[in-house]
Structures are given as C-alpha cells and as structure tokens.
Chains A and B, each alone.
Chain A
Amino acid sequence: MALFITKRLLMALATVLVVAVLAFLLVHAMPGSPGAVSLGAGASQEAIDAVNQRMGWNDPLFAQFCTWLGSAIQGDLGISLIDGRSVSADLASRLPVTASLAAGATILSAVLGIGLGVTAAVRGGALDQAIGGFVGLLVALPAFWVGVLFVYLFAVQSSIFPATGYVPFEVSPQDWALSLALPVITLAVGGAAFIARQTRASMLEALQQEHIRTLRATATPTWKILYVHALRYASLPIVAGIALQFIGLFGGSVIAEQLFAMPGLGQAVQTSVSTHDAPAVQGVVVIATVVVVAVNLVLELATKFLDPKLRAS
C-alpha cells in the first residue's frame, strides 16, 4: 500500500510537471510578446523590447522555464501583464470560489446521481425507463443553456436566488450559499445524469453477481442485499465515475463563472486567454492541474481502500 501511494504521488508530480511544460510552450506560442501585451497598442518597439529584455523573454526557453519553475515552487507564479498584480495572490483569492462551485456541484451530482441510478436499477420497469429517458435528456442539455433557463426561472420570474455575483463566505454564509445555488445546480445537472448512468449500470452488474443469490438463499432482507451488499460492490466504479466528474466540473466552472459572473479560476482563464496574459494563463493552468490531480489522487486512494483485493496487496 505504501509503495502504491508513493508510486501514485510520483505519477501525480510527473503529471503536474508535464502540464507545466505544456502550458509554458503554449504560452510562448501565444501571439504577441509580453512587452507588447503589457504596454498595449501604440507602444514603441524600443519600449516593448526593453520590457521583453527585463522579463527574460529572449533567454533560451529552457532557462526561462527553470526560472519560472524555481519561483513557482516557492509559490510565486509571476506578475500579470495586464494589471501588474501577483498571479499567485489573484489565483489564491479565486480558488475558493471555484473550489466551492466544483465541490458543491460534485456532491450534489453524486447525491442526485446515485439516488436516481439506484432507484432505476432497483425499481426497474416503467420507473427505470422514465428515469432513463430523463437522464438521457439531461446528458444532452448543454450546461450553459440550463444555466440560462435557471436564471430565467429562479432569478427573473421569481427572485428566489440572485442571478449573478458571488458573496464570500466570510461576509455572509447565508448569502454565500444563495449565490452558489444556481451555478452549483447548473453544473450538477449534467454531472448527476452521468453519475446516474454509471450507478445504474454498476448496480445492475452487482445484482448479477452470484453472491447475491447466496444472500437471498440465506434469507437476507432485500434492503440489506441492495443497500449493503450490492451498493458496496457497485461503489468502486461509482467512485471512479465521481472522480472523472470532478475533473469535468472543475473545467465546467468556466461556463458557470462566466454565466453567473463569479470571480473564480474559470473566469481568470477566460480573461487571461482573451488578453494574452501569459503568466496568468500559465499559472491558472498549473493550479487547476494541481487541484484536479490532488482530488483525483484522494479519490483513487479511496477506491483502492474500498476494494479488499487491492487493500490487502
């Protein structure tokens, strides 16, 4: 187990490093040098060259990457070309927004998805078909369209939730929750559908296992067969599905943050890409990767812990 964890940690580190290199190369392929971007249109070529020289833009790529990596390890992701603020500080203030969004949406979709999937598998018949149809529809609906619909229903027609904006938890927990409600539900719709399908398929597979017949032959009550034994067996692929979902929702937050004007990482990616703000793009790609890889690692370890075969070895 210790060996397994060490291996996975090394894998995770390698993943982050690969993405860092990738992001670095992509950023260098962006049109416009840092000088041109930060000074804006109309700046003289001399001024642009001076800025580029100061920022080390003309150094060999490998040297630049090492410099960046050196400061990144110390928590310094450079300075935004647009507003001159520290990228690390900016991202640190944005991370909680996206984290609450993605975590909220993952939890909500897991609860809804597992509920729907288990119900479909256990009840069968017409209810199973109805849930299957409903879930198929949810999978096909674009998240942003659903988001606009929710704004229309809950913010325009009835002002239950605020249409846009984010209230930090420290300011008011209640408003924080209210401001998160619509974006979280928007993101959770597709996620719940995905997990519902995964759950239904895994539950059905579990119920086809022969040990279920043994349990019935020893008079195990139906609820216990379903919710202790079958669900336990099905939990491995379900947790794997939730891990995949978190990756997707973390990315999906770009949409939700744009739609609901939330100052999160997604919004940062969107603006920094539009403005060619190289350090910001690179920083946000790396941070997003670190978060996703870390959460994945935890969920993977959880999966291994759930499986007696892997736990023992």
Chain B
Amino acid sequence: MIPSMAPAPADQAETTTAAAAPARNAGRAAITKLSGHRLFASPGAVAGLVWLAALVTASVTAPLWLPFKTEDQDFTAVLSGPTAAHWLGTDELGRDILSRIFAAAAGTLGTSMLTVIVGVGLGTILAMLAAGAGGRAEGVISRVTEVMMSLPGTVIILAVIGAVGTNIPVVMAILGILMSAGIYRVILGQAKSLQSQLYVDAAKVDGASPLRISLRHVLPGLANTIVVQAALIFAVGMLIQAGLAFIGFGPPIPQPSWGGMIQGASQHVYDAPWMMVPTGAVLALTVLSANAIGNALGKAPNAAAPHLPSTAARRQRAKAVAAIAAAPVHVTKDGAPDGETAVGTLSVRNLSVGVDSPGAGNGVRLVTDVSLDVEQGTVLGLVGESGCGKTMTALSLLGLLPSGVSVTGGQILWNGRNLAATTDKDMEAVRGREIALISQEPMRALDPMFTVGYQLTATIRRLRGMGKGEARKEALSLLEKVGIVDAAQILKTYPHQISGGMAQRVAIALALSGNPKLLVADEPTTALDVTVQAEILSLLRALVKDTGMSVVMVTHDLGVVADICDQVAVMYAGQVVENGRTAAILDSPRHPYTLALLAADPHANHADSMPERLATISGQVPQPKDWPAGCRFAARCQFAGSACLEPVPLLPSGAGEGLVRCVKADQLAVEGMDWLATDVPASRLLEITPKQTLLTEKDMA
C-alpha cells in the first residue's frame, strides 16, 4: 500500500535499470559477490543492522521487560504524551504505546519475512529455471510475470482478504507470490549472464546436470542480488502490511499492529497529534534500515565515470585547471621554449595526468612527464599496450579526461596557447573547431536516439554558424567527402541501422564538421573488420593530404603506424620510452620495449624471415600504483641491469632527432642485440626482486 508493489529501486544503476528496463541491461548486469565489506563500509547500513538487531531482540524478549501488558488500560493517563510512567505516551484507552509497539513488532517482522521468503524464493527459482531452460520456457515465464506485474496488486490482495479473511501470514505469503514477478525480472538478467559463462559451458560439457549447474555455478553468483532484493522486499512487505492494518485489515482486534495503531492515532490528530509519532517513527526507521542494507549491498562497485562530469566534479576540475595555470612553467632542456608559436602545431610539454585524490596529496599518476610535438599536416602515432596512458594523453588534448582524472602538471601548447590551463568553458571554443575527436567504437560514439542527419546538421550549424538548409547541404558534401555514396539516404538513418565502417565514416564526418586543424583519433580502426580498417586508414591519409590537418593517432597496431604515421611516440607505463621518425624507429628501434613490440608483431616480420616462434613479452604492464622509480620496463626486459633501477632520462637516441629512455640503448645498438623469441638464457637476466622495485617514485620525491 505504498505507492508500488515493486521494490523501491536500490540507490544505484544496476538494480534500478534492470527492474524497469530489463531488456537493455540484461547482458551486462555486473556480477558482484556478496560482500560484508560493502555492508560495513556504509554507516547507514551499519546503523540499520544495529536497529534491526535491537528491534528483533527487544520484540522477542518483550514479555520479559515490557512495563505494561498490551491491553492494560491506564484511565488516569488517556492520550498522554511521553511521561515517566509511559515513555512514549498512551493511546485513547490509556494503553502504553511503547509496550504495544514492541508487542506488535515480532508479528510484523515475522510475517514480512514470510513475504520475503515466498517472493524472493519463487522469483529466484523461476529466474534460474528460465535462464537454464532458455527459449520457449523462458518466454512463457517472462510473459506470465509481465502479466503479474501489470496487475493492480493492492486491489487483488484486498480481494484475497475477502476470501481468506485477515489471516495475516496467508495474506503476506500471497503478497510474496505477487511480488515474485518483479524479483524474477531483476534476477533473470544476471542468471542468464551467469549461465552464459564459459565455466558453465565447461560444466555442461563435463555432463553436470542442469540442477547441479544451477545450484553450484549460478546460485552463488546471484547471492548478492538475492540479499539486496530480500532487504528491499522486506521493507515493502512491512509498509504494505501496515497499510492493510491501517484500512482495517490488520490482525484481529485486541492484537496490536503498527498500521492499526497509526489508524487509531489518525482519529486523534486533532486532540493528540503526538500519538502518531512513536509508531510512525519506529515503522519508518525499520523500513529505512532494511533499505539502507539493501542499498549498501546493491551498490555497483565500479560504476563507470560519466563523460560529462557533474557540476560538483566540474567545479573540482576548474580548481585543478586554475592550479595548473598558476603553476610555474618548468621547461626541460629537450622542450621547446615557452610561447613559441607556429600555427597548427601542438607541443605537449612534461604532461602529467593523475587520478584526483580526495585528500590534499596527489592521487595515482596515469601519465608522467610526456612531451610530444606534432607539426602541421603530419601524423603522430602514440603506440603502446593497453593501460600505458596513450588514451589519457590523447583525451587531455581536448580537455575530455573522464570524471575523476585530471591534468596534474605540464603544458599542452596549441598554437602557443596552453590548453592544460584553459577552462572548460574556453575549451568549448577549441573543441570541434580546432581539435576534433574520433573514437574507437563508432557505434557507441553516435547518439542512438537521433538520426545521423540531425547529429550532423546540428553540429555543422553550431560549429559553422550556418542555417538549416545550408547545413544540410554541407552535411551531404561531408558525407560524400568521407566516401559515403548514398549520403541523402544515410542522413535519414539511425546509428543502429548502419554498419560499423559506415558509422566510423559518419563519425569522421562529424569530427570534420568544424574544419579542425588537429584530429585526435583514439584507435579509430580497432573495432572494425580488417578490410574496413584499410579503407578508413586510406580515408584518413587522404584527408590529411587534402585539408592539411594534423592527426594524433592512438593505436596499438604497428601496422597502422607504418601505414600512416610520420612520427611515432612509443609509450610504456605512462611514459614516452622512445620517439622519432616512423621509418627510423621501425628500422632501427633503440628501446628494448620497441624491439620487443616489433619482434612480437607477426606483420612486422617479413614472410621469408618469419621466425619459427614469435617473441613475447613476459609479465604484464605494471599497475600505475606499482610503477618503480627506475626504468618501468626493467622487470620485463631481457636486457635489464643494475643501472636500470635508477630513474632513466629521455636522451637523444642517435638515430635522427629521436629520443630514447634506456640506459643501455647505445650498448644494444652497438652490439645489435635482438629481442629473443626463445626462452632467455639466465645469464642475460638481472634478478629484479620485488624488494628492489619497492622504491617508488613517491618515496623519492
């Protein structure tokens, strides 16, 4: 009898969206383990647990300590407020409110648990059945629950009461059945995603029975959601039960109930308003407690950061920008002098990007001391494994770092202007008009709710100040420019109606609509088919030639680098480890990491000289918080020596204007050593023990 039979949505995205729009989220429901840590990390949930525990204890032991019997009438104190004798006052018959609240508690909590057991139990079983069986069975169960959810549950419960009378346990159990439909829908998505896990497939191949799979592999993964739903349903059950008692369908008359007591109080709102306070407060606190527990457990642990930060986050960002603007400019000897201006050039100087820390100190650093130069009409490749900071570097050029990450130092000089110290408002004049972005997944880069035509013309009108008709003409010509033949037709489509390659062309057209001088391309071909990749690359090459714009191309594909880039900067663990002309670096790499990347790339080895076995790089890119003070690649390097434990500067590599960050670079070049595909002889390896790498940069500072 609260405004919904459905559980109140938990205070986060996971459960809520799943409840209301299960289709959209079904596959990606995050599987979170039941964790006491999350529960105890939330002060609200801890308070809720304490309150519920106290309430249960107090109500179970009520006969032992209650000052009055529930029916004791004190005619000397009718409708009294709190007194020494009656701590919470009395009702119209002089009965002690405190005693009645606690006498009623056990029944209220117990019968609400009944709703939880029936509702969550039935919902879970149905969801596991549907997820296990799939196909028609799932369709039928889902249809039935849809019908159940679209019923006026309250009215039906009242009709049930008409048939079975005010037998509260039965009524609450039937309520559980009605509510199981909503629980089913929440759990189904997760059960399905668990059923599709590889280890479940493996168990099926091993011949495990469906029942065993459900109990052993699916149920444990659902535990957290089940507990969350149980807590929320418990709260709803209590509210509905109290509501029923309020309208006169509570337990038989002499028995106290919270809803009935509030009903009694509502009769005396004119002469004794106090009466409704204690019972209402106890009921609300109990519901609040159950909700707090459910919400704490249901909180998605790793919610993605919004691409448009909240007002509060933007204010934080503005402070960081102001700090950068105020910081004294520190120019290293390899950096260009401050203020040198050349139209269409980008000079990144000693750029650092880090996670915002709530305290005063610095958070984890993601990019450190990166310097890059892009001249007009050239293409710079940023190469490296995932997690090396290349995307963060690229996004910082547009001021589009995700929420919670910001530039912590250095300069981004665009035509001599420091973009790192430019406010978000002023960046709006730069984005699209001077620097544009195309991203990895073209399908997700376009707004699914609007047609290609709307997105393109709105952008052209905004960036070029054109009228509607003119913008449409321009949109057509842009689409033709990016190689779309039936441009007029494409304008009318929604993004989901076109292919990935087509979408990337549209995204490029969108990026070109403001005639930018610099294009930041974040792995623009990674998500595409191989043949489409080549088309998109040649399109980009043609655009650079025709328009004279520069490109910063983020990629992990050395083939792309060889194909399109004039300059290349190899990044590893947040640093540039080697840069220079593409030809020079691909022909004679100096940094062991570059050597390793080339040795590991099947395309970089010619067919005739293809080794029997491709090289690998053992280990993984270290997490930003584990970066050592010395060479960050040392732990994985075949050539590492004791000199590598000291911080390594970026030095001229001897090959053209290139720079390399390796103390052994010259030695390697002279000796002509290759990255070995076979197991490395121990004699070439330096023992890098964890102890030695423990000395982090933070300690040095």
- Contacts A211-B448, A229-B449, A248-B3 given; indicate if A217 touches B511 (C-beta within 8 A): yes
**Complex CA–CA separation, A288 to B150 (angstroms):** 11
Question: Does A85 lie at the interface of the complex (its beta carbon under 8 Å from any beta carbon of B)?
Answer: no
Question: Does A112 lie at the interface of the complex (its beta carbon under 8 Å from any beta carbon of B)?
Answer: no
Residues B163 and A140 in contact, CB atoms below 8 Å apart: no
Question: Does A115 lie at the interface of the complex (its beta carbon under 8 Å from any beta carbon of B)?
Answer: no
Task: Show 5 residue pairs from A and B whose CB-CB distance is below 8 angstroms, ordered by the A residue.
Answer: A125-B313, A194-B3, A194-B8, A202-B16, A211-B445
Question: Does A139 lie at the interface of the complex (its beta carbon under 8 Å from any beta carbon of B)?
Answer: yes
Residues B3 and A121 in contact, CB atoms below 8 Å apart: no
Residues B310 and A248 in contact, CB atoms below 8 Å apart: no
Chain B positions 490-543 with a Cβ under 8 Å from a chain A Cβ: 494, 496-497, 507, 510-511, 513-514
Nearest A-chain residue to B456, judged by Cβ? A218
**Complex CA–CA separation, A207 to B403 (angstroms):** 11
**Complex CA–CA separation, A27 to B143 (angstroms):** 26
Residues A142 and B17 in contact, CB atoms below 8 Å apart: no
Nearest B-chain residue to A203, judged by Cβ? B306
Question: Does B617 lie at the interface of the complex (its beta carbon under 8 Å from any beta carbon of A)?
Answer: no
Residues A145 and B4 in contact, CB atoms below 8 Å apart: no
- Contacts A143-B3, A205-B13 given; indicate if A15 touches B307 (C-beta within 8 A): no
Residues A204 and B3 in contact, CB atoms below 8 Å apart: no
Residues B152 and A292 in contact, CB atoms below 8 Å apart: yes
Partner of A201, one of B17, B246, B263, B449: B17
**Complex CA–CA separation, A213 to B262 (angstroms):** 51
Question: Does A214 lie at the interface of the complex (its beta carbon under 8 Å from any beta carbon of B)?
Answer: yes
Stretch at the interface among B222-230, B348-356, B431-439: B431-439
B147-167 near A? 1/0 per residue, CB < 8 Å: 101111111101111111100
Question: Does B329 lie at the interface of the complex (its beta carbon under 8 Å from any beta carbon of A)?
Answer: no
Top 10 nearest A-B pairs (CB, nearest first) are: A124-B310, A125-B312, A251-B154, A248-B4, A207-B306, A217-B437, A29-B163, A124-B312, A190-B3, A212-B307
Chain B positions 179-216 with a Cβ under 8 Å from a chain A Cβ: none
Question: Does B122 lie at the interface of the complex (its beta carbon under 8 Å from any beta carbon of A)?
Answer: no
Chain A positions 258-313 with a Cβ under 8 Å from a chain B Cβ: 258-259, 265, 269-270, 272-274, 276, 281-282, 284-285, 288-289, 291-293, 296, 308-309, 312
Stretch at the interface among B279-287, B339-347, B669-677, B680-688: B279-287
**Complex CA–CA separation, A207 to B310 (angstroms):** 9
Question: Does B462 lie at the interface of the complex (its beta carbon under 8 Å from any beta carbon of A)?
Answer: yes
Partner of A296, one of B150, B249, B496: B150
**Complex CA–CA separation, A23 to B156 (angstroms):** 8
Partner of A136, one of B11, B143, B310: B11
**Complex CA–CA separation, A151 to B429 (angstroms):** 55
Given A202-B17, A255-B246, A308-B496: 11 more A-B contacts, CB < 8 Å: A30-B162, A123-B312, A142-B287, A145-B276, A148-B265, A187-B3, A201-B9, A233-B449, A254-B158, A265-B155, A288-B155
Question: Does A53 lie at the interface of the complex (its beta carbon under 8 Å from any beta carbon of B)?
Answer: no
Stretch at the interface among A42-50, A67-75, A236-244: A236-244
Residues B17 and A22 in contact, CB atoms below 8 Å apart: no
Nearest A-chain residue to B280, judged by Cβ? A145
**Complex CA–CA separation, A192 to B263 (angstroms):** 24
**Complex CA–CA separation, A137 to B143 (angstroms):** 34
**Complex CA–CA separation, A27 to B150 (angstroms):** 21
Residues A30 and B428 in contact, CB atoms below 8 Å apart: no
Question: Does B12 lie at the interface of the complex (its beta carbon under 8 Å from any beta carbon of A)?
Answer: yes
Contacts of B116 in A (CB 8 A): none
* B interface bracket (residues with beta carbon within 8 Å of A): 35 or more
**Complex CA–CA separation, A250 to B2 (angstroms):** 10
Nearest B-chain residue to A214, judged by Cβ? B445
Question: Does B326 lie at the interface of the complex (its beta carbon under 8 Å from any beta carbon of A)?
Answer: no
Contacts of A218 in B (CB 8 A): 431-432, 436, 459, 462-463, 510-511, 513-514
Question: Does B311 lie at the interface of the complex (its beta carbon under 8 Å from any beta carbon of A)?
Answer: yes
B286-322 near A? 1/0 per residue, CB < 8 Å: 0110011001000000011111111111010000000
Contacts of A221 in B (CB 8 A): 428
**Complex CA–CA separation, A218 to B198 (angstroms):** 41
- Contacts A237-B20, A293-B150 given; indicate if A204 touches B13 (C-beta within 8 A): yes
What's the nearest-Cβ distance from chain A to residue B404, in Å?
11
Residues A143 and B243 in contact, CB atoms below 8 Å apart: yes
- Contacts A23-B159, A252-B3, A259-B266 given; indicate if A210 touches B9 (C-beta within 8 A): no
Chain B positions 1-35 with a Cβ under 8 Å from a chain A Cβ: 1-6, 8-13, 16-17, 20-21, 24
Question: Does B65 lie at the interface of the complex (its beta carbon under 8 Å from any beta carbon of A)?
Answer: no
Contacts of A293 in B (CB 8 A): 150
Point out which of B12, B246, B284, B439 has the most chain A C-beta atoms below 10 A from its C-beta. B246
Nearest B-chain residue to A225, judged by Cβ? B308
Contacts of A193 in B (CB 8 A): 8
**Complex CA–CA separation, A233 to B495 (angstroms):** 14
- Contacts A140-B235, A252-B3, A285-B155 given; indicate if A258 touches B247 (C-beta within 8 A): yes
Partner of B308, one of A148, A216, A240: A216
**Complex CA–CA separation, A225 to B428 (angstroms):** 13
Residues B17 and A292 in contact, CB atoms below 8 Å apart: no
Contacts of B1 in A (CB 8 A): 142-144, 251-252, 254-255
Question: Does B631 lie at the interface of the complex (its beta carbon under 8 Å from any beta carbon of A)?
Answer: no
Residues A269 and B262 in contact, CB atoms below 8 Å apart: no
Nearest A-chain residue to B4, judged by Cβ? A248
- Contacts A201-B17, A217-B436, A237-B20 given; indicate if A26 touches B243 (C-beta within 8 A): no
Question: Does B69 lie at the interface of the complex (its beta carbon under 8 Å from any beta carbon of A)?
Answer: no
Partner of B159, one of A140, A201, A233, A273: A273
B16-59 near A? 1/0 per residue, CB < 8 Å: 11001100100000000000000000001000000000000000
Residues A214 and B510 in contact, CB atoms below 8 Å apart: yes
Question: Does A65 lie at the interface of the complex (its beta carbon under 8 Å from any beta carbon of B)?
Answer: no
What's the nearest-Cβ distance from chain B to residue A48, in Å?
19
Residues B9 and A255 in contact, CB atoms below 8 Å apart: no
Partner of A309, one of B312, B448, B514: B448
Contacts of A232 in B (CB 8 A): 449-450
Partner of A26, one of B163, B246, B437: B163
Residues A236 and B158 in contact, CB atoms below 8 Å apart: no
Residues A142 and B2 in contact, CB atoms below 8 Å apart: yes
Question: Does A220 lie at the interface of the complex (its beta carbon under 8 Å from any beta carbon of B)?
Answer: yes
What's the nearest-Cβ distance from chain A to residue B97, in Å?
15
Stretch at the interface among A56-64, A76-84, A126-134, A173-181: A126-134
Contacts of B654 in A (CB 8 A): none
**Complex CA–CA separation, A236 to B22 (angstroms):** 11
What's the nearest-Cβ distance from chain B to residue A189, in Å?
8
Question: Does B242 lie at the interface of the complex (its beta carbon under 8 Å from any beta carbon of A)?
Answer: yes
